[in-house]
Amino acid sequence: QVQLVESGGGLVQAGDSVRLSCVTSRRTFSAYNMGWFRQSPGKEREFVAAINWNGGSTLYADSVKARFTISRDNVKNTVYLQMNSLKPEDTAVYYCAAGGIMYSSDVYMRPDEYPYWGQGTQVTVSS
């Protein structure tokens, strides 16, 4: 079983930057596509960004493109989400997830493609 633990959330002001981290418990993490999702109260969980196993492919939601950057360090079993120019509408619980076909060049954006999830970290952006 792969375990994922997110960190780095908190309360920030609009325009600030935050970097989220997600550490996984197993070396097999390096073979999986990794994704970031977020969920606000009353809304469905939405895709934010994803990266394939070796970092060669990334995908972003239109709402975060050019502001957020996903990256990974397979030596440290960690995936990151650098969030710049934060807006109040970015306020949500952010989840990292692992899944997809191992060693695939594809990236995945549907929650049902990810069998492994972290507990989430809250990011609150004040105006």
pLDDT digits (tens, 9 = 90+) for 17-36: 999 999 998 777 889 999 99
- Smallest CA-to-CA distance from 80 within 5, 22, 10 is with 22
Put residue 105 in one of left, alpha, beta given phi > 0 → left and psi -120 to 50 → alpha: alpha
Distance CA 110, CA 23 (A): 21
Give the length of the chain: 127
Query: For the residues 3-14, what does the mean pLDDT come to?
Result: 95
- Whether 40 has a pLDDT exceeding 90, the answer reads yes
Query: What pLDDT, on the 0 to 100 scale, is given for residue 91?
Result: 97
Give the other-Cβ count within 10 Å of 65's Cβ: 10
Query: What pLDDT, on the 0 to 100 scale, is given for residue 47?
Result: 98
**What percent of the chain has a predicted confidence (pLDDT) above 90?**
89
Query: What pLDDT, on the 0 to 100 scale, is given for residue 98?
Result: 94
